[in-house]
Amino acid sequence: QKEVEQDPGPLSVPEGAIVSLNCTYSNSAFQYFMWYRQYSRKGPELLMYTYSSGNKEDGRFTAQVDKSSKYISLFIRDSQPSDSATYLCAMSEGGSYIPTFGRGTSLIVHP
């Protein structure tokens, strides 16, 4: 069992839909959680960074962490074709320099 599981997709939604992207993990020591967006042939770009459980909102994006279930989510409201990309989750233990990445979920938002 991998430490971080992420459905590769692709997830195809119509423009304007609410998108839910998820990761599950097995290591209860993870405390820091990140979401990255990666466009084709580009490097990953940090979207959200959270510590421990709870929600964090930034514009159309909401990151949610449920440590009791070992489950994190990224919600995208009013999705746009420009949101079409691969979304990677990442997480790390306290004091660590090396995050563990999921393999990414491909999202396609069609007009």
Partner 1 sequence: SQTIHQWPATLVQPVGSPLSLECTVEGTSNPNLYWYRQAAGRGLQLLFYSVGIGQISSEVPQNLSASRPQDRQFILSSKKLLLSDSGFYLCAWSGTANSPLHFGNGTRLTVT
3-state helix/strand/coil string of the chain: CCCEECCCCCEEEECCCCEEEEEEECCCCEEEEEEEEECCCCCCEEEEEEECCEEEEECCEEEEEECCCCEEEEEECCCCHHHCEEEEEEEEECCCCCCEECCCEEEEEEC
| Shortest CB 30 distance to partner 1, Å | 11
User: For partner 1, which is the closer residue by CB, 25 or 36?
Assistant: 36
User: For partner 1, which is the closer residue by CB, 17 or 93?
Assistant: 93
Of 90, 105, 107, 109, the one binding partner 1 (CB under 8 A) is 90
Judged by CB under 8 A, the number of residues near partner 1 is 25
Residues lying near partner 1 in the complex (CB under 8 A): 8, 31-32, 34, 36, 41-46, 49, 88, 90, 92, 94-99, 101-104
